Amino acid sequence: MSANNLNMKTRSAARRKTRIFGTVKYYSQSAKGRVVDLSESGLALDIGSPFNAAAGSPVRIESEELGVLEGTVKWYHSGRLGIAFRPNTNAAAQVASYFRFFHQDIKPVLTR
């Protein structure tokens, strides 16, 4: 991981823009959202409702395209959630499979 100008750790794996809808779950909480970028090591998810999970909290992401992924919250800012996949899961294989068979490159409609 490297650091950006906000002094936050960032993913070193290549990110690709996506428009995948899914649900993030933390214990009894869940929030629907959209995966806006994805790499083999993590993802960024825009969510439409408040989500109370601190950095380091374990979460599950459920998506029709990706299946079930387990990860850890890295950051939460302005309705966007950064999640790093757990290294002991098959998340990297699931993401690689998604890119190989389903992903189509997109251009963002709106920028943040």
Q: What does the pLDDT read at residue 106?
A: 57
Question: CB neighbours of 90 closer than 8 A, spacing ≥ 6?
Answer: none
Q: What does the pLDDT read at residue 93?
A: 72
Closest to 57 (Cα-Cα) out of 25, 35, 20: 25
Domains and CATH numbers, the chain: 15-101 (2.40.10.220)
Pair of tokens at residue 50: 């408040």
| pLDDT tens digits along 9-53 | 554 567 777 778 999 999 999 999 999 998 888 999 999 888 888
CB 51 within 8 A of CB 36: no
Closest to 44 (Cα-Cα) out of 85, 97, 5: 85
The C-alpha atoms of residue 77 and residue 94 are separated, in whole angstroms, by: 26
Residues 53-79, mean pLDDT to the nearest whole number: 92
Pair of tokens at residue 38: 């994805």
Mean of per-residue pLDDT scores for the chain:
80
pTM for the model: 0.72
- Number of Cα atoms under 13 Å in the Cβ half of residue 47: 26
The single-letter DSSP state of residue 82 is E
